[in-house]
Every structure is written in C-alpha cells, then in structure tokens.
Amino acid sequence: MEDTKHFTELGLVNTRDMFRKAMKGGYAIPAYNFNNMEQLQGIVLGCAESKSPVILQVSGSARKYADPTFLPYMAKGAVQMIKALGADIPVALHLDHGDTFDLAKSCIDSGFSSVMLDGSHHAFMENAALTRQVVDYAHKREVTVEGELGVLAGVEDEVSHDVSHYTKPQEVEAFVEKTGVDSLAISIGTSHGAYKFKIKPGEEVPPLRFDILEEIAQRVPGFPIVLHGASAVVPEYVKMINAFGGKMDDAVGIPEEQLRKAAGSAVCKINIDSDGRLAMTAIIRKVFAENPAEFDPRKYLGPAREELIKMVKYKNEHVLGSANRA
Ligand code: G3H
Ligand code: 13P
Ligand code: ZN
C-alpha cells in the first residue's frame, strides 16, 4: 500500500517562489543530488550555514537505492534537523530525470514537492504530451514541474549520446506553452559526469553556448531555465583522488567562471551531483590511505560529510550566488 502524503506535511516547499526570487536577484538555486544520509546532511547543513535555499534532488535510481518509502522521511528528517539548529531555509525535494508518468506520480504521491519529466530523448510532440500529463497531475497538488528540451552529451539516464544536441531556441516558446512547465532544462554544452570533454594537453574546454541561452531568454523572458551537468569537476578533488590511489586522469568539468555567468542569467537552477561525489570520495580515499586499519564508518563518512559542507558553502557563496538569499 502506498504511503501517500503531501509535501507540506514534510516541511517542504515547491520551487515557484525560489525561482521567482532567483530570477529577480540574478542568482541560481543549487540542486544537489543525494543518495544517503551523509550526503543529505552535508548538503542541508552547507545550505543552512550559508543561508541558501536548496533543492534536494534524487534520480529514479537514487530513490530506489535509498528506498522509495524511506526517502521522503529522510528529507523530513533533514528539514527537522536544520530547524532544530535554528536555520530557516526553504527546502524542496525534487525528482531528477523522471522518465515516466508513473514514476513522477509515485514521487508526487509520496511527498516530493517538485518533479522533472525528462522527455528529451523523445520527439518534440511526444515529449510535450508526456510532460503535459505530468504537469496536469502535479499542478493539482501544487507540485512544480521541470521539463527538458535538447539532449546533453554523454549518458542521460539509460540513453547514450555521443554529441550534444543543443536546445533549439525556436522550439522553446511552444514547448513551454503546450506543457505548462514551471522551468525548463536546456542543452548548451554541459554534460553529466566527471568526464565532460575530451581535451588534449594545453587545450581549453569549449565555452558553453551562451548565445543559445540568450536567445532562449529573449523568447521566454523571465522564465526559469535549468542547467544540468553543471559540476566543475573540482580539480583539487580529482588530484586528491589520484594521489590516494584513484584513477581519474581525464576528469574535467565546467569552469567556475562560466557557471557564475550562467547563474547571473536566466538560469535559476544549477544541478550538481558529480562534485559532491568527488568531494566525499577524495576524503574517504585520503582517510583510508593514511589510516589503513580504520574500519569505523563514522571515521571516514564523518570527514567526507564535513568536506561536503565546505564544498556546498563555497559553491553557494562563490559560484551560484544563493548564499544569504534564504
Ligand atoms: O543526472 C543524473 C544524476 O547525476 C544522477 O545520477 O542516476 O547515477 O543517480 P544517478
Ligand atoms: P553533474 O554530473 O555535472 O554533477 O550533473 C548533475 C546533474 O545534472 C543531475 O541532474
Ligand atoms: Zn541532469
């Protein structure tokens, strides 16, 4: 039997007000992915300490990993924890890359305040129809919906693409109008994971297509745009991982300057998963390398959580501009 509840019962908010304020203030709301308790705590504590609104996001596979029944209560626990610490920041729980109506519905029914329907691998009309179906269900329950137009390079869920199919600005107005989405993920050259570009030594990473972003912003003025695949792939973490027995030689991400520029534009939500994974992995590798006899999970997950708090604060303060906006 499904454990049905509304997101307000979990102390969550949808993304509507967050995006309205971000658009007006010229910053982006951080959307950090999590799978477990230490990641979740690291994210909310980092956001509470930097007084930033936050979107906690989980993919379908992360939800399965954590357990679909358990997961909304994790979010509730996180909200209660920061309240007990005296923090008052808006927290949304969002489904990342939902690919079916049933998955989106199940998340909404279990207490998510926001869902993404990623129909970007479908043809335009199919994508629009599927997204509309989710919007109709979600909006009746005050849940906000993110759609996607254009395909990111690399692996997007189970679908593999070698090249990025940039969003076609001329399709955006019709998509937004047909679907009624609250925000739209676009493709302007970012990609998922820790290996975003294949570059030769001495080469720079190719710049994001800000020209496409500008054209989209002109066609749908004031409409919240979302940037996926926006990890910087923090070089210090990659170095640390490699120094302590890892092998991530060609890992490369989006330069911070470009993320700052995006955050100051129509981009209201920036998705970060890989950087959080790298931060925790770097510290865990260091602890194990320096203390090979260690076997108490608190001794490696604890420092990893501390590092994640540091990373989240840094990003909110220096990259997204969301610090002190709660
Ligand atoms: O964009 C996808 C996110 O990074 C989540 O990845 O499916 O491995 O949880 P995942
Ligand atoms: P990264 O892999 O760049 O962190 O992107 C995460 C993301 O887009 C989640 O939807
Ligand atoms: Zn994504």
Tens of pLDDT, residue by residue over 292-321, are 999 999 999 999 999 999 999 999 999 999
Judge if the beta carbon of residue 228 lies within 6 A of ligand 2: yes
Cα–Cα distance between 273 and 152 in angstroms, integer?
15
Residue 275: nearest ligand to its CA? 2
- Give the residue, by CA position, lying nearest to ligand 2 atom 3: 229
Judge if the beta carbon of residue 62 lies within 6 A of ligand 1: yes
Judge if the beta carbon of residue 96 lies within 6 A of ligand 1: yes
Please tell me the predicted confidence (pLDDT) of residue 158: 37
- Residue 93: pLDDT band with limits 50, 70, 90: very high
For a mutational test of ligand 2's pocket, the pick from 146, 188, 228, 311, i.e. the residue with the most ligand atoms closer than 8 A to its C-beta, is 228
H or E, element range at 115: strand 114-117
Cα–Cα distance between 302 and 324 in angstroms, integer?
26
Residues near ion ligand 3 (CB < 5 Å) are: 228
For the chain, what's the residue count? 326
Instruction: Report the predicted TM-score, pTM, of the whole model to 2 decimal places.
Output: 0.96
For a mutational test of ligand 2's pocket, the pick from 95, 151, 231, 233, i.e. the residue with the most ligand atoms closer than 8 A to its C-beta, is 231
Please tell me the predicted confidence (pLDDT) of residue 157: 39
| CA distance readout (Å), 116 to 30, 146, 162, 293, 295 | 15, 4, 23, 43, 38
Is 96 noted as a catalytic residue in this protein?
yes
Closest Cα partner for 108 from 97, 93, 126? 93
